Amino acid sequence: MKICVYPGSFDPVTNGHLDIINRAVKLCDKLIVAVLINTSKNPVFTIEERVGFLKCALKDHPDIEIDSFSGLLIDFIKEKKANAIIKGLRAVSDFEYELQMALLNKNLDPDVETLFMMTNINYSFLSSSAVRELARHSGNIDGFVPECIKDEILKKFKKAGV
Catalytic residues: 17, 41, 90, 128
Rounded to 5 degrees, φ, ψ at 143 are 85, -10
Question: How far apart, in whole angstroms, are the C-alpha atoms of residue 84 and residue 31?
Answer: 10
Give the Cα separation of 13 and 31 in Å (integer).
16
Contact with ligand PNS (CB under 6 A): which of 18, 73, 77, 154?
73
Task: Give the residue with the Cβ less far from ligand PNS, 25 or 88.
Answer: 88
Binding region for ligand PNS (CB under 6 A) out of 33-41, 59-67, 119-127, 152-160 = 33-41
> How many C-beta atoms surround the C-beta of residue 99 within 10 A?
14
Binding pattern for the stretch 79-118 against ligand PNS, x by CB under 6 A and - elsewhere: ----------------------x--x--------------
Residue 69 C-beta-side C-alpha neighbours within 13 Å: 20
Q: Name residues contacting ligand PNS, limited to 40-59 (CB under 6 A).
A: 41
When asked if residue 16 is in the footprint of ligand PNS (CB under 6 A), the reply is no
Q: Report the residue from 20, 25, 32, 36 that binds ligand PNS according to the rule CB under 6 A.
A: 36
State how far the Cα of 91 lies from the Cα of 108, in Å rounded to an integer. 26
